[in-house]
Amino acid sequence: MSRRRRARATLVLIVLAGAGLLVGAGLRDTVTYYRTPGEVLAGGDAAGARLRLGGRVVPGTLRQDGGQTRFRLTDGSHEIDVVQRGAPPDMFREGRDAVVEGVLGAGPVFRADTVLVRHGNEYRPAGAESAGTGARRNAGGEPTPG
């Protein structure tokens, strides 16, 4: 009886370890949801590989032309130009954080098919915004000086 139980416990452990390994391998892209411009520019990705790029939308770089949206993402030291076919979500603004999904092309220009807006954990009424979020009321596409 105790031998059978031990065998069963061992089997359960092996199955759990295997499942854990599979889940861990499958979630590698989840654990680091996006990469910064600096990390992406440093290379190491196969050409044409899909990846997620995250950073702050550089003020003054947002433009819409011919059904395409162009802007630049920065991590403070490195910047990458992004081209998106279509329009970004409503909450997308210059100075806010965004995560884009797509492929890094020549230029380098990042060709995104998905644009997501990140938001901070700060909640303030309009008119009393803190500088930390950089969430300025700024209509998309409107160029801001500097």
Partner 1 sequence: MRAENRSRSTTEADRRGLGWLTAGLGGAGLVVGLVVAPTDAAQGDAQRLMYLHVPAAWTAFAAFAVVALASGAYLTRRDLRWDRYARAAAEIGVGCTALAIALGAVWGKATWGAWWAWDPRLVSTTLLLIVYCGYLCVGRAGPVAGHSERARHRAATHTAFLGVAGFALVPVVHFSVVWWRSLHQPATILAVHGPPIDLLMGIALLLCVAAFTTGAAWVFLRRVDALERAAAASRTAGRPTLRSGAR
What is the contact surface with partner 1 in residues (CB under 8 A)? 27, 29-34, 54, 88-92, 96, 99, 114-130, 132-133, 135, 137
Quote the CA–CA distance of 134 and 120 in Å, as a whole number. Answer: 10
Q: Which residues on adjacent β-strands are paired with residue 83?
A: 70, 111
**Nearer residue to partner 1 within complex by CB, 20 or 107:** 20
**Nearer residue to partner 1 within complex by CB, 7 or 16:** 16
**Nearer residue to partner 1 within complex by CB, 17 or 27:** 27
Q: In angstroms, what is the minimal distance from the CB of 25 to partner 1?
A: 14
- The secondary element (H helix, E strand) that includes residue 37 is helix 37-41
Which region holds residue 38: left if phi is over 0, alpha if psi is between -120 and 50, else beta? alpha
Structure tokens at 144: 């801001």
Q: In angstroms, what is the minimal distance from the CB of 118 to partner 1?
A: 6
